[in-house]
Chain A
């Protein structure tokens, strides 16, 4: 049977669903979840003893008949079933990586905070790193490729220099991309540590400046909190807003499902009854619409019941616009993989990408940016993606002067 997106979502709502699958089906699920970067998350849900006693593998017995019966109904007095050895191995491998990364993040966060304290008004950890540092639900079983921090734009150069002194250097990227990052985006290009290889993204706002919607620094500062280890992050509610804004303004949707899972777990932790905490922050930062989209999406995907009135009020744009956005996001946020039976047509992806671009940049700049990117894109299509060695990419920069 072809697995579908709905089943993948069910695994996170009811992890015991995994037991109802055949072994070949589980094998495909492992691959899909690994690609979506959420395998460790499922592993956490399954192996964390505090969450579900039924899943305690020590007390599980194997029973072939029960397996067949289980497929038909979810029994109320669960007969304990056993996961096969290979699935357990894949889950545990993924979880180990996440646990290891988490350990690493604590170490890096302490060091980065320590290094930047003398030169920076604040050093706020964002996104995945922040979830782990605060031991939040969204941070459990989460893997990520880099650490995101937020500093004041005024001190950005100082921070960059101080980090360089401690071994953090920018990776080689084209002059064009460098300029894009500095002028129009909300971050400098990623820095990598010379020995450890860890990558940090230094931001000076939570969304690109160029879109005109970026909140001011003084407003952002209201939402910074300090945990008991002296590490700064945004409040959980502000993290929710930040994550939603990124998801619904992004150009890339490859890990959209992971991001949507983050939002789901954050909402669970904040409490679905405490929506006003979230909406207040959204109002303050100026992102009510994105929060409306997020809550609507969470409601649809994870079968939550949230107050319709609240959500409608947040979705304060024309009916047509709201319908258009929901059309795109309805499918795009679900896990994508060729092993899954995905209902999304390619057209929906294209629309989502263009929409992402439209929101980030004013149109005249968008055209230039797209031309540069797509020029390279066309070359890659003809010559194959690997025609560019790092040396090639640098010398390909015959840039017209920006006015």
Chain B
């Protein structure tokens, strides 16, 4: 997808990707069954949802984590209308 994260960009989980938020709020794990990549991110589900809705507000460090998820095919730009 287009790497540019603009003012109005929102992200969502790509269809067919598996995601699981753990009960202890320690993080989420992602599994791409096709490429067989497994990865994790150490924020709670609530925080992660914020990341997806407002990627523009993220720090450099958090943004780069988000970009990794995009590169690995877990996230795409949301098709939902404003």
The residues of A with any CB-CB pair to B shorter than 8 Å are 103-104, 106-107
Instruction: Identify the closest chain B residue to A110 (Cβ).
Output: B34
Instruction: Identify the closest chain A residue to B32 (Cβ).
Output: A107
* CA distance in complex: A103, B34 (Å): 7
**How distant is B24 from chain A, measured CB to nearest CB, in Å?**
31
List B32-55 residues whose CB lies under 8 Å from chain A.
Answer: 33-35
6 A-B residue pairs with Cβ-Cβ distance under 8 Å, sorted by A, are A103-B33, A103-B34, A104-B34, A106-B34, A107-B34, A107-B35
**How distant is A340 from chain B, measured CB to nearest CB, in Å?**
36
Question: Which residues from chain A contact B34 at a C-beta distance below 8 Å?
Answer: 103-104, 106-107
Instruction: Identify the closest chain A residue to B34 (Cβ).
Output: A107
* CA distance in complex: A106, B35 (Å): 11
* CA distance in complex: A103, B16 (Å): 12
**How distant is B15 from chain A, measured CB to nearest CB, in Å?**
15
**How distant is B33 from chain A, measured CB to nearest CB, in Å?**
7
**How distant is A40 from chain B, measured CB to nearest CB, in Å?**
19
Closest 4 CB pairs of A and B: A107-B34, A103-B34, A107-B35, A103-B33
Instruction: Identify the closest chain B residue to A103 (Cβ).
Output: B34
**How distant is B78 from chain A, measured CB to nearest CB, in Å?**
23
* CA distance in complex: A106, B33 (Å): 12
Instruction: Identify the closest chain B residue to A104 (Cβ).
Output: B34
**How distant is B68 from chain A, measured CB to nearest CB, in Å?**
16
**How distant is A196 from chain B, measured CB to nearest CB, in Å?**
8
Question: Which residues from chain B contact A107 at a C-beta distance below 8 Å?
Answer: 34-35
**How distant is A105 from chain B, measured CB to nearest CB, in Å?**
11
Question: Which residues from chain B contact A104 at a C-beta distance below 8 Å?
Answer: 34
**How distant is B63 from chain A, measured CB to nearest CB, in Å?**
26
* CA distance in complex: A317, B33 (Å): 52
* CA distance in complex: A107, B32 (Å): 12
**How distant is A299 from chain B, measured CB to nearest CB, in Å?**
41
List B18-41 residues whose CB lies under 8 Å from chain A.
Answer: 33-35
* CA distance in complex: A250, B33 (Å): 36
Question: Which residues from chain A contact B33 at a C-beta distance below 8 Å?
Answer: 103
**How distant is B35 from chain A, measured CB to nearest CB, in Å?**
7
**How distant is A163 from chain B, measured CB to nearest CB, in Å?**
18
* CA distance in complex: A104, B35 (Å): 8
* CA distance in complex: A104, B36 (Å): 9
Question: Which residues from chain A contact B35 at a C-beta distance below 8 Å?
Answer: 107
**How distant is B73 from chain A, measured CB to nearest CB, in Å?**
10
Instruction: Identify the closest chain B residue to A106 (Cβ).
Output: B34
**How distant is B19 from chain A, measured CB to nearest CB, in Å?**
18
**How distant is A104 from chain B, measured CB to nearest CB, in Å?**
7
* CA distance in complex: A104, B34 (Å): 6
* CA distance in complex: A103, B32 (Å): 12
**How distant is A261 from chain B, measured CB to nearest CB, in Å?**
27
Question: Which residues from chain B contact A103 at a C-beta distance below 8 Å?
Answer: 33-34
**How distant is A119 from chain B, measured CB to nearest CB, in Å?**
24
**How distant is A194 from chain B, measured CB to nearest CB, in Å?**
14
Instruction: Identify the closest chain A residue to B35 (Cβ).
Output: A107
* CA distance in complex: A106, B16 (Å): 14
**How distant is A112 from chain B, measured CB to nearest CB, in Å?**
14
* CA distance in complex: A66, B34 (Å): 44
**How distant is B29 from chain A, measured CB to nearest CB, in Å?**
20
* CA distance in complex: A236, B34 (Å): 27
**How distant is B14 from chain A, measured CB to nearest CB, in Å?**
14
**How distant is B51 from chain A, measured CB to nearest CB, in Å?**
27
**How distant is B18 from chain A, measured CB to nearest CB, in Å?**
13
Question: Which residues from chain B contact A106 at a C-beta distance below 8 Å?
Answer: 34
**How distant is A107 from chain B, measured CB to nearest CB, in Å?**
5
* CA distance in complex: A181, B34 (Å): 32
Instruction: Identify the closest chain B residue to A100 (Cβ).
Output: B33
* CA distance in complex: A106, B34 (Å): 9
* CA distance in complex: A104, B33 (Å): 9
* CA distance in complex: A271, B6 (Å): 55
